Amino acid sequence: MKKLGVLLALLVLFGTLATGTVGAVYIPSSGDFGVYIFGSSSNVTISDGRLVLDATGSEYVRAWLNVTEFQAIEFDYQAYANNVLSGVSFMSGSSGVGLTFIEYDTGSIEVRKISGANYPQYDGSSDTIGGSIDAGTSFRNKYVHFRIEFQQRGTEWDLLVYKDGFLLYNLTNVQQHIDPLSIEKVVFGVPAVGIGNNLGWQGKVEFNNIQIYEVEYHIQLSLKDALSNQPLTGVTVKENGNVIGTLDDGGSLDLTKGTHTLTFEKSGYWSVTKTIDVQGDMTVSVEMYPDSAAFKFENFPSDISIPENTIYTLTFTLSPISTDAAYNTYLSLSGLSNVLEVQKDGQAVSPESGKYYLGDISGPTQISIKFKAGAVGQHGFTLSFESHDAIMSKTYTTTKSVTYTVEPLPFSVQMPSEWQVGQNELRISESSGQSYLITAVLKDSQGNEVWSDSHAFSPYEAYSFSVNVPSEGQYTLELQWNGQVATYDVTVNPAITLTTKQLTVEKGGEGTIVLHFKNPSSDVQYYTIKVSGGFLPSEINQSISVGPLTEKDVSIAFAVPEDLTYDAYELQVQVLQGNATVFQDKVAVSIGDSGGFTLFGGSSGNTWLWLGVGGLGLLALVGLARRR
């Protein structure tokens, strides 16, 4: 584990911290320094990194350093008198269970579990953990360097005691005695109390060069290009202006518990500052934007999954990396054909030559893009934001690729091969093994509902809706379920068309109107054709039928009277299915003159013209004969 040598904490009530090497706990030069002291302050000598506790003539002296989590503590220790009982405790709360390092005047040490006490002492309630260990040499009148370290082993923690670099003691699974993650303070103490029949033990000890190392956690970093999602290499990481690492994507740092503000820097990219709260091993994702881009994407969905034929709204926040680069902004969409609407902060934006003008972006702006999902499978499109500086001298381009997955609906839909006016069968089969309500709604081209129905589906149930289409035209069919809507475009082509829109007839002659009928259904369709108006003395009424899945032409003949006043009339054509009118239109009829001799057909007014042309032709033939 990497040592950062970070000072944990001192509750400084008076005085200030002295300066010195990073990693040491520095003790102020004088006064009650927030290290809590039992006994008179005259029993404590304080200097930089040096704490002397003198219990001679006093009841006892102890002091503690308030800490957070830590991994190890190191110090140089020296005792100046015999019969010394001293040590370092690790405590949770002001009185609780602690692990205590104890030195006897015999030159041995013990690790003890002390109940109801927060300073090193020996009493009848103490439990010796691991027994007494021979220190090998006397501690008297010389410095001995100790390192007391917690090491994590899987889910367990061990306590290791080193003396002058050699492992002196190893207590495994310290959770049975004290949880190292709950320790709140480190206690230094020299009691001068009666122990058993040995009264009046006194001592003076010095703890010098005290250093405390915090527990560090493994922070794995995902370093990606925010626009291309490609991994980055050679990213410099700083904290408080100091470089703490240069990492590639997937690299890691060891950081202490608590809040850290990290800055990530790379040539060609905008720097990113990120504050993280370290409470254990964790993964941190960092997206860096090229310095050619003007915006960053916030609250952008990482995984877009859309049910088939549904409408999806992609919503995210567009924030300027630098407001100096966010003027006169345009949005372009490439590879997305079914765009229904683009909004900026809730207001619709109309396209201009295929682009959407967003104006100047001075702060976080919500962008919404509504589109209809395509076929099942993977799809993608590109967002491109083009912006400029204030004087339009530099152009910035922020381009992001978007991928999304279109998932099959939880039900299958079987529609008519060709929709028709009237009843149409829509069959839906539940295929996911769930129960839910499906509401089918048919809307006209203006968005008005013209038909709807619903059915509560059981798992794997099939059900047929009978959809009534009032007339031909363009419709939208919506299938609504579980808060989602699948939409389908419905085109209803005319089942009846008037083939004869205009015709010319002669007085006293006969005319014919032709209608074309198409029946895309599997049932016989019955109709009544009515022709009225104009010069007709009475309404023409004719009944017909059209076989399933067939088409046919129907002719309606009518007589033209001799005594007509006008040379053009209008006839009304109407088709009924039952009592409902399903088709109506008009036929323009032009009237010709039937009097006199007619050559090649036509009116009498044209007869003399044809005779004149024929006479000239005859004279020409006679002339040619004479030339021979």
Q: Is residue 626 part of a domain?
A: no
**Number of domains the chain contains:** 5
Residues present in the chain in total? 628
- More confident: 98 or 347: 347
Q: Are residues 99 and 162 in the same domain?
A: yes
Beta bridge partners of 515: 498, 554
For the record, the structure tokens of 241 come out as 């202006």
47 & 149 share domain: yes
State the number of CA atoms in the 13 A half-sphere of 523 facing the CB: 8
Average of pLDDT values for 484-492?
92
Q: What is the mean pLDDT of residues 313-331?
A: 94
| Domain stop point among 492, 511, 532 | 492
Tokens 């140089």 -> residue: 76
Q: Are residues 423 and 486 in the same domain?
A: yes
Q: Which of 492, 517, 542 is the last residue of a domain?
A: 492
**CATH number, position 386:** 2.60.40.740
In whole angstroms, what is the distance from residue 76 CA to residue 188 CA?
A: 13
For residues 281 and 299, membership in a common domain is answered with no
Q: Which domain holds residue 330?
A: 295-407
Burial of 616 (0-12, 13-18, 19+ CB in 10 A): exposed
Picking from 436, 428, 442, the residue whose alpha carbon sits closest to that of residue 471 is 442
One domain, residues 73 and 162 = yes
Query: What is the CATH classification number for the domain harbouring 57?
Result: 2.60.120
Regarding whether 228 and 164 lie in a shared domain, the answer is no
Residue ending a domain, among 251, 270, 288, is: 288
Does residue 313 form part of some domain?
Answer: yes
CB contact set of 351 (below 8 Å; sequence gap of 6+): 342
Average pLDDT over residues 257-285: 93
Report the pLDDT value the prediction gives residue 35, as an integer from 0 to 100: 47
Query: Are residues 459 and 443 part of one domain?
Result: yes
Q: Give CA–CA dist 107/100, Å, rounded.
A: 16
| pTM exceeds 0.85, yes or no | no
pLDDT tens by residue, 101-147: 555 555 566 666 655 544 444 444 556 666 655 555 555 667 888 89
pLDDT given for residue 385 in this prediction: 95
Q: What are the residue ranges of helices labelled H in 265-337?
A: none
**φ, ψ (nearest 5 deg) of residue 195:** -120, 110
What CATH number corresponds to the domain at position 276? 2.60.40.1120
Smallest CA-to-CA distance from 322 within 360, 277, 369 is with 360
Closest CA to 146 of 180, 117, 169: 169
HEC per residue, 387-456 = EECCCCCCEEEEEEEEEEEEECCCEEEECCCCECCEEEEEEEEECCCCCEEEEEEEEECCCCEEEEEEEE
Q: Which residue has the higher pLDDT, 84 or 221?
A: 221
Can you give the CATH number for the domain in which 565 is found?
A: 2.60.40.1710
Of the pLDDT bands very low, low, confident and very high (cuts 50, 70, 90), residue 8 is: very low
Q: Which of 222, 41, 70 is nearest to 148 (CA)?
A: 70
Out of 168-177, 397-406, 497-506, 611-620, least confident range: 611-620
98 pLDDT more than 80: no
Are 566 and 505 contained in the same domain?
Answer: yes
Looking at residues 19-30, what average pLDDT do you find? 36
Residues 467 and 540 in one domain: no
- 38 and 168 inside one domain: yes
Count of C-beta atoms within a 10 Å radius of residue 299: 11
Residues 145 and 166: their CA atoms lie apart, in Å, by 10
Q: Is the pLDDT of residue 93 over 70?
A: no
The pLDDT-based confidence of 262 (bands split at 50, 70, 90) is very high
Q: What percent of the chain has pLDDT over 90?
A: 48
* Predicted confidence band of residue 15 (pLDDT cuts 50, 70, 90): very low
Q: How far is CA 355 from the centre of its chain?
A: 25
- Note whether residue 196 is domain-resident: no
- Looking at the fold, whether 139 and 40 belong to one and the same domain comes out as yes
Q: Tell me the average pLDDT of the chain.
A: 80
Query: Of 155 and 33, which is predicted with more confidence?
Result: 155
Taking only the tens place, the pLDDT of each residue in 390-432 is 999 999 999 999 999 999 999 999 999 889 888 899 999 999 9
CATH number of the domain encompassing residue 465? 2.60.40.1930
Query: What b/e string do you get for 32-54 counting C-beta neighbours within 10 Å, with b at 16 or more?
Result: bbbbbbbbeeebbebeebbbbbb
Residue with structure tokens 């022709």?
531
Q: Are residues 480 and 415 in the same domain?
A: yes
Let me know if residue 164 belongs to a domain.
Answer: yes
Question: Does 207 fall in a domain?
Answer: no
618 domain-assigned: no
Q: Does residue 424 sit within a domain?
A: yes
In a domain, 484, yes or no: yes
Q: Which residue has the higher pLDDT, 521 or 570?
A: 570
